[in-house]
C-alpha cells in the first residue's frame, strides 16, 4: 500500500519481537528502515528478510544507553538514506522484582535501556526531523506505564516515565511539526514475555495462560502491535500527538 513510501525510519530493538515485526511492516509499506540493536545476528537476519521482500533496510549496532552510539546510529541512518522521518523508540527490558529485591544495578539498567535511550535517540533525531520539515516519534510504553503491576517496580517506573516523556516531547516539538506518541502494548508473544516466566520462576505454559487472561482471551502477536505503530507513524494519525495508545486486548479495562 506504500503508506510510508519514501520515509526513513529508525527502529530501536528492531532485531526481534515487536521491533522486528514493525521493521517488516514499515518496509512493506515503503519505508527505508535502520534496524538499531545489539544483536548483530538477528539484526542481519532481519535485513535479509526485508531485502528478500524487495525492501530497504540496514543494521546498525548500537547500545542505546550510550550517547555516542545513539548519535552515530542517527548519523549513519541519515548518511545511508538521506534523512530521517520516523523514530520508533522500542528497545526495552524488564526486571520482575519488587522494591526490596531489585538491586541498584538492575534498577539502573532498566532505567537506562527503557528511559535514557529515548532521551538520547530523540536528542539526536529531532534536529534531522526539523530539517525535513517535521517527523514522528513513537515510544514503546506499556499498560504498566499507565497503571501499576506486581513485582515490576523498575519496569513500572520506567514505563510511567516513558508515558509522561511522550507528553512533554509532544508539547515541546509540536510547533516543529514533530508528533510524539506512545504505544502501550499488553502482554505480547515475544522473547521478553517468556523471559518474565523464567524471572518469576513460573512454568512458561502457566505464565502464558495468565497473560491471556483479558477480555479478548489471548495475548498479542507482535504484528498486531506493529499495526498500531504504523498508524501512529502514518498520515492516518496526522492530528494525534501526546497520546498513549493502549493495545492490550482489553487488559486495562
Range of the domain at 120: 8-185+221-240
What Cα–Cα distance (Å) separates residue 110 from each residue in 97, 113, 152, 155, 174? Answer: 12, 5, 11, 7, 28
* 75 within 8 A of 68, measured Cβ to Cβ: no
Q: Has 155 been annotated as catalytic?
A: yes
In the structure, what pLDDT confidence band is assigned to residue 29 with cuts at 50, 70 and 90?
A: very high
Tell me if 210 is assigned to some domain.
Answer: yes
pLDDT at position 128, please?
98
Residues 45 and 107 reside in one and the same domain: yes
pLDDT at position 195, please?
93
Tell me if 2 is assigned to some domain.
Answer: no
Residues 79 and 199 reside in one and the same domain: no
Tell me if 106 is assigned to some domain.
Answer: yes
pLDDT at 129 over 80: yes
In the structure, what pLDDT confidence band is assigned to residue 222 with cuts at 50, 70 and 90?
A: very high
In the structure, what pLDDT confidence band is assigned to residue 1 with cuts at 50, 70 and 90?
A: confident
Summarised one tens digit per residue, pLDDT across range 31-49 is 999 999 999 999 999 999 9
Residues 121 and 201 reside in one and the same domain: no
pLDDT at position 236, please?
98
Residues 55 and 172 reside in one and the same domain: yes
Domain count, the chain: 2
Q: Where are the beta strands (DSSP E) in the chain?
A: 8-12, 32-37, 56-61, 86-89, 135-140, 178-185, 244-247
pLDDT at 161 over 90: yes
Summarised one tens digit per residue, pLDDT across range 172-192 is 999 999 999 999 999 999 999
The CB density around residue 203, as the number of other CB atoms within 10 Å, is 9
Tell me if 28 is assigned to some domain.
Answer: yes
Averaged over 150-156, what is the pLDDT? Answer: 97
pLDDT at position 211, please?
95
Tell me if 141 is assigned to some domain.
Answer: yes
Supply φ then ψ for residue 238, to 5 degrees.
-60, -20
pLDDT at position 159, please?
98
Q: Find the catalytic residue in 124, 155, 219, 231.
A: 155
CATH code of the domain in which 158 resides: 3.40.50.720
All 3 cell numbers of residue 9?
525510519
In 3-state terms, what secondary structure has residue 219? coil
Percent of the chain with pLDDT over 70: 100
In the structure, what pLDDT confidence band is assigned to residue 214 with cuts at 50, 70 and 90?
A: very high
Q: Please give the model's pTM, rounded to 2 decimal places.
A: 0.96
pLDDT at position 202, please?
93
Residues 152 and 202 reside in one and the same domain: no
DSSP state of 115: I
Residues 41 and 154 reside in one and the same domain: yes
Amino acid at each position: 500500500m506504500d503508506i510510508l513510501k519514501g520515509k526513513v525510519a529508525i527502529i530501536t530493538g528492531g532485531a526481534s519481537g515487536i521491533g522486528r515485526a514493525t521493521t517488516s511492516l514499515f518496509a512493506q509499506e515503503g519505508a527505508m528502515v535502520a534496524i538499531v540493536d545489539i544483536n548483530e545476528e538477528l539484526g542481519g537476519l532481519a535485513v535479509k528478510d526485508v531485502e528478500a521482500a524487495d525492501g530497504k533496510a540496514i543494521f546498525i549496532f548500537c547500545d542505546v544507553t550510550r550517547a555516542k552510539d545513539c548519535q552515530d546510529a542517527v548519523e549513519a541512518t541519515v548518511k545511508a538514506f538521506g534523512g530521517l522521518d520516523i523514530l520508533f523508540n522500542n528497545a526495552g527490558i524488564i526486571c520482575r522484582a519488587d522494591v526490596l529485591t531489585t538491586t541498584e544495578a538492575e534498577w539502573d539498567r532498566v532505567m537506562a535501556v527503557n528511559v535514557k535511550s529515548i532521551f538520547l535517540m530523540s536528542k539526536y533525531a529531532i534536529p534531522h526531523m526539523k530539517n525535513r520539515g517535521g517527523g514522528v516519534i513513537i515510544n514503546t510504553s506499556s499498560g504498566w506505564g499507565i497503571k501499576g503491576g506486581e513485582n515490576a517496580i523498575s519496569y513500572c517506573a520506567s514505563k510511567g516515565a516513558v508515558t509522561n516523556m511522550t507528553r512533554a516531547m509532544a508539547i515541546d516539538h509540536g510547533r516543529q511539526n514533530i508528533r510524539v506518541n506512545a504505544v502501550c502494548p499488553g502482554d505480547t508473544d515475544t522473547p521478553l514475555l517468556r523471559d518474565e516466566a523464567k524471572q518469576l520462576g513460573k512454568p512458561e505454559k502457566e505464565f502464558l495462560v495468565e497473560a491471556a487472561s483479558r477480555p479478548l482471551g489471548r495475548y498479542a502477536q507482535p504484528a498486531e502491535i506493529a499495526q498500531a505503530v504504523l498508524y501512529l507513524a502514518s498520515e492516518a494519525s496526522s492530528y494525534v500527538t501526546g497520546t498513549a495508545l493502549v493495545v492490550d486486548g482489553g487488559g486495562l479495562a
